[in-house]
Structure 1
Amino acid sequence: MRVLGVDTSTMMATCAVLDGEKLLGEYSLNQDMSHSESLVPMIKEMLDSLNLQVSDIDLYGVSLGPGSFTGLRIGIATVKSFAHVFNKPIIGVSTLEGLAFNLVHGGTIVPMIDARRNRVYTGIYKWEKGRLINILKPSIKEMEELLELLNKDYDNIMVNGNGALLHKEKIEDSLKGKVRLSPISLNSCRAASIAELALLNRHGENQYNYYNLVPEYLRESQAQRELRKRES
């Protein structure tokens, strides 16, 4: 089964193709460029290099968020259009789960995505019997609140994501020997992880179609907040 994975939840635009348990290709760019400009050409270049067509893909995996509102809409709209045209299934994957899946770690895994104003999108994950288990559901937290929770209840912690990089000094000062930052290669969103999670969960509850697939923002957009203020 060929799987195309896509993640556009952060500045990193990334796409990958799996064929069963084999990674055929992965293409990632972290640059100040709109995903609307880069994503489809990236997918086309990767598929052309593999002598594949979009119609050869059997399953799509896409990150649902949290993350950049605009980036998520672009990635999801792209995958929904492919699924519509070729009538193929879609699996939605949490961006935080995808980040956590990068790390094979025997302790506590805490992915962090910058949510601005000293906040991060985060969750807590552990590997149990070869499966990644979510033990604190995705949410948005103040850094001080998150660090207090981790200091109190967890040890042997590994963190990754752009939020972890942004707050690196604060994390290390607070958690000291309890925490490690991930290697650079595993610190960003990877489409290969999204694709593999889609493959693993293809018979589960996260299967969508091009009608009902929507982003999971975890908070209102700026436009929504301003509209609510005007209406109140």
Structure 2
Amino acid sequence: MFVLGIEAATPVAGVAVVEDGRILAERLVNNRRTHSVNLLPMIKAVIEEAGITPKEINGVAVSAGPGSFTGLRIGMTTAKTLAWIWQIPVIGVSTLEALALPLVARDQILCPILNARKNEVYANIFKGRVGRPENLSGPLAIRISELVQRLDKWPGKITFIGDAVPVYQEEIQTLMGDRAAFGPQASQLPRGAAVAELGYLEMVAGGGVLPLELKADYIRLSEAEVKLAAKCGK
């Protein structure tokens, strides 16, 4: 079974092809070009590098949030369009679970955090285990101080990963001391391969939906929606 994975929920554009859980090809770009420019050439390249044709792909997995509203829309639209053209299922994958996946074999608490702006992070609390992480709490849009209070529920070290780590590392260390650990630089960026692998696991379990059924998980309202709600007095 071949699954194409697409990551566009953050400033990183990542795509990969996996076959039965094995990564065949992967590309990652972290530059200032928009995902609408990067994604399609990258998808074409990884399919060719995997040595297959689009007709052989069985499902398209895409990072469905939380993350950048613009990036999510570009990634979701790309995935849903390809799935519709190829007449295959599409699978929405948590951006935060995709971040945690490479560290799941470590038997500890993992806390992926993405920069949500407005002094908040998108966060999830996972327990590492073989296979895929166990979701303990989240996803959340939350301030670091509130997240640290929530993490007091679980003893021992907490490993933080994600693109919000460089922004909030000092504050986390101040609040948590030696309990806070931080993943390597490679763990700060979500990977298309992790999205594809989670999509593959969902496909094996009978998951996947029609393109029109897939919804993004934004977690909180966009700025435009906040302003509209205020204008309408809601």
Give the structure-2-normalised TM-score: 0.93
Q: Distance in 1 between matches of 2:42 and 2:91?
A: 20
Gaps of 5+ in 2: none
Partner of 1:70: 70
**Shift in Å, 1:152:** 5.1
Q: Distance in 2 between matches of 1:75 and 1:157?
A: 30
1:53-64 equivalent positions in 2, closer than 5 A:
53-64=53-64
Write the letter of the residue equivalent to 2:115.
D
**Shift in Å, 1:154:** 3.4
Note if contact 1:92-1:206 (Cα within 8 Å) is conserved in structure 2.
no
**Shift in Å, 1:127:** 2.7
Note if contact 1:54-1:82 (Cα within 8 Å) is conserved in structure 2.
no
Partner of 2:114: 113
Q: Distance in 1 between matches of 2:21 and 2:80?
A: 24
Write the letter of the residue equivalent to 1:99.
L
1:162-201 equivalent positions in 2, closer than 5 A:
162-201=163-202
Give the structure-1-normalised TM-score: 0.94
Q: Distance in 1 between matches of 2:99 and 2:173?
A: 20
Note if contact 1:60-1:88 (Cα within 8 Å) is conserved in structure 2.
yes
Write the letter of the residue equivalent to 1:8.
A
1:7-46 equivalent positions in 2, closer than 5 A:
7-46=7-46
**Shift in Å, 1:143:** 0.9
**Structure 2 CA distance for partners of 1:147 and 1:13, relative to 1, 3 Å:** same
**Shift in Å, 1:230:** 2.0
Partner of 1:49: 49
Structure 1 runs of 4+ off > 4 angstroms?
Answer: 203-206
What secondary structure does 2:110 align onto? strand
**Shift in Å, 1:50:** 3.1
Q: Distance in 1 between matches of 2:64 and 2:146?
A: 25
Alpha-carbon displacement from aligned partner over 1:181-224 (angstroms, at most 9, x marks no partner): 11111221011111111111225475221111111000111111
Alpha-carbon displacement from aligned partner over 1:68-91 (angstroms, at most 9, x marks no partner): 001001111111011101110111
How many residues in Structure 1 have an aligned counterpart in Structure 2? 232
Partner of 1:146: 147
**Structure 2 CA distance for partners of 1:220 and 1:205, relative to 1, 3 Å:** farther
**Shift in Å, 1:113:** 0.6
| Higher fraction of strand | 1
Q: Distance in 2 between matches of 1:205 and 1:167?
A: 38
What secondary structure does 1:5 align onto? strand
Alpha-carbon displacement from aligned partner over 1:113-134 (angstroms, at most 9, x marks no partner): 1111221011110134644210
Alpha-carbon displacement from aligned partner over 1:147-183 (angstroms, at most 9, x marks no partner): 2222453322111001122101111222221121111
Q: Distance in 2 between matches of 1:221 and 1:9?
A: 14
Q: Distance in 2 between matches of 1:203 and 1:221?
A: 34
Note if contact 1:62-1:90 (Cα within 8 Å) is conserved in structure 2.
yes
Partner of 1:85: 85
Alpha-carbon displacement from aligned partner over 1:53-75 (angstroms, at most 9, x marks no partner): 32221111111100000100111
| Seq. identity, % | 34
Note if contact 2:17-2:50 (Cα within 8 Å) is conserved in structure 1.
no
